Each structure stands twice: as C-alpha cells, then as structure tokens.
Amino acid sequence: MENSGHGAGKQYLEAALDRLEWVLRAQHEQIAAAGAAVAKAIAAGGWWFLFGTGHSHMLAEEAFYRAGGLKRVVPILDGSLMLHESAVQSTQIERLSGLAEILFQERGITERDVLLIASNSGRNAVTVEMAETAKAHGVFTIAVTSLAHSRKASSRAPSGRRLFEVADLVIDNGAPYGDAVIAVSERIGSMGPVSTITGAAIVNAIAVEAAGRLDAEGLPVDVWISANVDRTEEARADGGQPLTPEQIRLRCRHI
C-alpha cells in the first residue's frame, strides 16, 4: 500500500484490518478444520503443540498459558531459535538441518497430538523438517504461513520442500511477500508487518473453534481465565479454592 506521508500509522491499521477481513473470508474453512483437529486430539487425551522460529515463536506463546486460551497447549520454545539470545544467530540456526528432529523427540509428541507450525516464509530447514518429522511419526500438522511469500521463496531444507508443501492442513496468514504492507517512502521503503497480527488471530480462532466443538459434544474443556480477575476458573472448579502453582503444573505440561 502506497503512503502519502502523514497518517501512515492509520493506513497501517487499515491495512492490517483488511488482511484480517481477508483471513475471515478466505480461510475460515481451514481454521474450522484446524479447530476440529485440535478438538479431536484433546478429546483423545492429546495435546496441541505449537512451534515457530524467530518472530513466529510468538504464536506458540500466544496460545500458551493464555487468558481465554486452552490449557492443553504445549509451546516448543528453544532459546537459540528465538530472538532474545542473539537475533542474528537465531537466523542462522533456523537454517540448520537436523535440529528439528531433536526438538521433536525431546517433547515426546505422539500420534494423538496435533502440531501447528508457524512460519511466514515457510522455507527454512528447521521449520520444514519439523513438519516432515511430525508427519513421519503420524502427527497431524497445521501450517500457518504466507503463501504469497513462500511460493516466491526457494526452500532451504535438504528436501527442497517448503512448509505448505509438507503440512496436512495449510492456513494462509494473508501477509504479502516481505510481510510489510506500507510503503512509507522511496527513501525508507516498506514497513508494517502483518503476519503476527493475522497469525495470532488464527491461533486464537482455532482455540475457540476447538473449545466450541468439544463443548457441543459435552466433553470437558479446560480454559485459562486471567490471573488478574478476582474469581478464576480454577477456583470455580475446585470448590472455591484457587489451585496452587504445583497443582497447576500437575494438570498442564510445561507450566
């Protein structure tokens, strides 16, 4: 989107809203299918795992231990693939072959679980190999990616495949090639990424869809309530007494 100078921030918000509306129109069926897969896994006693590298790791955190989110969620968070230890190093590490299988095996993921992998480009080795490893172990995989970007990008995985070519179910986050949507000026270039905004909305939509399906079947649905409200779901479920941190850890993985 071209920008005329003043009001660029407003234009960005309008562009982000346009992308969210596109996701609603074009991806609602895929989101419903993802929610069904997560509900099936939870009903079978499984877990919803989420993985992403770089900024995409925020989508795994968005679903985890989140007010208004599902409890049966496990984020796959590895410091070397995030940004807080070394942003430049994480960019190099996400291109390394072999790491994904190590991370997968460490988490004890099984066939009854579901794995969501978020990657805007869907091209790097760790991302693609995580999906390949999951599929080799019979784990249903969901990709949240930009098809506009990924289709223009070559794969950095040894298999030569990109995430959308491996995953069982693909949800397009609607981000353009390069992610940024506002051309601030010829001198500055483009700014305003949207993949995190649409990605977080997709993740939460999947969680709500899964909960709705479980509830419709009369199955238990464990949901986090904000720790900053006076009365929590844990208190209601346990006779008015809030759970201790240890009780929470025993009920939920990676807390």
User: How far apart are alpha carbons 76 and 81 in whole angstroms?
Assistant: 10
With cut-offs at 50, 70 and 90, classify the pLDDT of residue 29.
very high
* Residue 200, phi then psi, degrees to nearest 5: -65, -40
Structural domain includes residue 2: no
How many structural domains comprise the chain? 2
Check whether residue 143 and residue 252 sit in a common domain.
no
Q: Is residue 176 part of a domain?
A: yes
The predicted-structure confidence for 77-100, as pLDDT tens digits, reads as follows: 875 666 577 677 666 657 677 788
Mean pLDDT of 176-192: 92
User: Are 187 and 241 in the same domain?
Assistant: no
Per-residue confidence (pLDDT) for residue 240, from 0 to 100: 47
My answer on whether 140 and 21 are in the same domain is yes
Per-residue model confidence (pLDDT) at position 226? 86
User: Do 216 and 103 share a structural domain?
Assistant: yes
- Which residues lie closer than 8 Å to 105 by C-beta, 6 or more apart? none
Looking at the fold, whether 118 and 211 belong to one and the same domain comes out as yes
Find the CATH number of the domain harbouring 209: 3.40.50.10490
**Would you tell me how many other CB atoms lie within 10 Å of the CB of residue 207?**
23
Residue 179, domain extent: 8-224
Residues 184 and 155 in one domain: yes
Same domain membership, residue 153 and residue 34: yes
Q: Does 174 lie in the same domain as 245?
A: no
Q: What tens digit of pLDDT does each residue of 33-79 get?
A: 999 999 999 999 999 999 988 888 889 999 998 999 999 999 988 75
pLDDT at position 246, please?
Answer: 61
In total, the chain counts a number of residues equal to: 255
End-to-end CA distance of the chain: 42
In a domain, residue 203? The reply is yes
Q: Is there a single domain that holds both residue 157 and residue 195?
A: yes
pLDDT per position as a tens digit, 217-243: 999 999 998 888 876 555 454 444 555
Say if residues 158 and 99 touch (Cβ distance below 8 Å). Answer: no
Q: Do 236 and 113 share a structural domain?
A: no
Is residue 3 one of the residues assigned to a domain?
no
Domain assignment present for 111: yes
Residue 188 lies in a domain: yes
189 and 123 inside one domain: yes
Same domain, 171 and 254: no
Residue whose entry in the numeric block shows the structure tokens 């509830």 = 215
pLDDT value of residue 20 = 98
